[in-house]
A and B are shown apart, each in its own frame.
Chain A
Amino acid sequence: MGIGEDTRSDADLLFAFRNGDAMALNALVGRYQGPLHGYLRAMSGSAADADDLFQETWMRVIRNPGSFRGGAFNAWLWRIARNLLIDRLRRRKPAISLDDMTAEGTAYRELTPGTEPDPGDEVAGAEIGRVIAAAVTRLPPDQRDVFLLRTQAGLTFAEIARLRHVPLNTALGRMHYAVLRLRQELGGMYTILRGR
């Protein structure tokens, strides 16, 4: 998707799309495709589900850009995505547990894409990122959601509280526990991160 270096704000791009500029929407998709798809993938646990949800989210944006009433575009975008995600998770009954074993004797958790470090990855930064990503997938869903909404979507805690319909203190508390848990999971690596 032609991302380009469009310096217009999100709201300006959406307004331009409403006025018939398809490239403006492409720029928006390019701007958010990584974090949004990553969030959906981490929350749904499936690349295929993430693809479906990602596409449906943008289809909603395309069909009804007028429902954006100002404010933070990313909060609006993640609200759409999150509602679709919740609908999907409600419909999907967990037929198997991630801890169940396949016929080959491998746990389904091991097959979940993006949760383990890539052995061939020699870039230290990417390695740390993958370790964090793996640790994030092991967070309880509520904590994982708040953590990703803050770090990946870039929402403020107030926006997260509004989005999740919880008090601000609850959102802060979940983030706090998520960070504590990550600190335990990452061990010495977390100390390195703090030093950076």
Chain B
Amino acid sequence: MKYYGSTDRTMNHDTDPLRELEATSARLTPHVRRGCDSVPSPDVLAAIRTAATRQAGAPRILPFVPWAIAAAATLLVLLSGWTLFRVRQATEVARQATLMDDMLFLCAEASVVPETIAPGAQREERARRLLNLQGLGEAAAPATKVSAESEELPSTDSQSHNTRELQAQRCG
């Protein structure tokens, strides 16, 4: 293209070819429009109008709603997972703490522990719980028996004595 090549040395610098082309286009435009513009058939226009009316009346989903729903669902799943994890973790910690507490208590009991640390009934209960936790069904029976007997005995000294014997055996 002779006029528009950037390296074209024949380019006429006195006139702006782009401006000239724009001016020619502007001169021709009304004539071209008068000659070339045409009208679509009424059926086509009616179809377009019907489609526009239908589309305008259709319920529209706001663009952010799907994103909000997706974000809420993701958040819900994450929160549920986190809560479940925390509950299970807390349960496990509590179980371990109870077990440790009982072990320490029993070992302390097997040694010399003053009676004032815990009342007799509480000690019985904790011993029974420990044995149940450890799955010592056969060992739980004497403990229960001791507990049952202890209810009939006026003093808790013999009950504590029996329990201590049993606990000492378990602790080695």
Chain A, interface size category, equals: 35 or more
Q: Within 8 Å CB of B34, what residues of A?
A: 125-126, 128-129
Within 8 A of A (CB), among B22-48: 24-25, 27-29, 31-41, 43-45, 47-48
Q: Tell me which of B18, B43, B51 has the highest count of chain A C-beta atoms within 10 A of its own C-beta.
A: B51
A-B interface pairs (CB < 8 A), number: 148
**In the complex where A35-B33, A38-B38, A173-B1 touch, is A196 in contact with B27 (Cβ < 8 A)?**
yes
In the assembled complex, the CB of B154 is this many whole angstroms from the nearest CB of chain A, namely: 89
B residues near A, CB below 8 A?
1, 3-6, 17-18, 21, 24-25, 27-29, 31-41, 43-45, 47-49, 51-53, 55-57, 60, 63
26 residue pairs bridging A and B, Cβ less than 8 Å apart: A1-B49, A17-B52, A20-B60, A21-B56, A22-B57, A33-B39, A34-B37, A38-B37, A41-B36, A54-B44, A55-B48, A63-B55, A66-B63, A114-B36, A125-B31, A128-B34, A132-B36, A147-B32, A148-B32, A151-B28, A152-B33, A152-B37, A169-B4, A176-B4, A176-B21, A196-B27
**In the complex where A20-B60, A132-B28, A150-B25 touch, is A169 in contact with B36 (Cβ < 8 A)?**
no
A59, CB-defined interface residue at 8 Å: yes
A85, CB-defined interface residue at 8 Å: no
Instruction: List 10 A-B pairs, minimum CB-CB distance, nearest first.
Output: A129-B35, A129-B34, A133-B35, A34-B37, A173-B1, A22-B56, A38-B37, A38-B36, A25-B52, A169-B4
Minimal Cβ-Cβ distance residue in B for A18: B60
Indicate if the CB atoms of A152 and B36 lie closer than 8 Å.
yes
The complex places the Cα of A132 from the Cα of B17 at a distance, in Å, of: 23
The complex places the Cα of A176 from the Cα of B11 at a distance, in Å, of: 14
**In the complex where A21-B56, A22-B56 touch, is A136 in contact with B40 (Cβ < 8 A)?**
no
From A34, A62, A147, A148, contact of B39 by CB (8 A): A34
Majority DSSP secondary structure for residues of A touching B: helix
The complex places the Cα of A39 from the Cα of B53 at a distance, in Å, of: 26
From B4, B18, B36, contact of A39 by CB (8 A): B36
**In the complex where A125-B34, A176-B3 touch, is A151 in contact with B29 (Cβ < 8 A)?**
yes
Q: Within 8 Å CB of A136, what residues of B?
A: 32, 35-36
From A18, A51, A151, A182, contact of B40 by CB (8 A): A51
**In the complex where A20-B57, A172-B21 touch, is A26 in contact with B38 (Cβ < 8 A)?**
no
Indicate if the CB atoms of B36 and A42 lie closer than 8 Å.
yes
In the assembled complex, the CB of A38 is this many whole angstroms from the nearest CB of chain B, namely: 4
A73, CB-defined interface residue at 8 Å: no
In the assembled complex, the CB of B69 is this many whole angstroms from the nearest CB of chain A, namely: 19
Indicate if the CB atoms of B5 and A169 lie closer than 8 Å.
yes
Indicate if the CB atoms of B47 and A55 lie closer than 8 Å.
yes
**In the complex where A128-B31, A133-B32 touch, is A173 in contact with B38 (Cβ < 8 A)?**
no
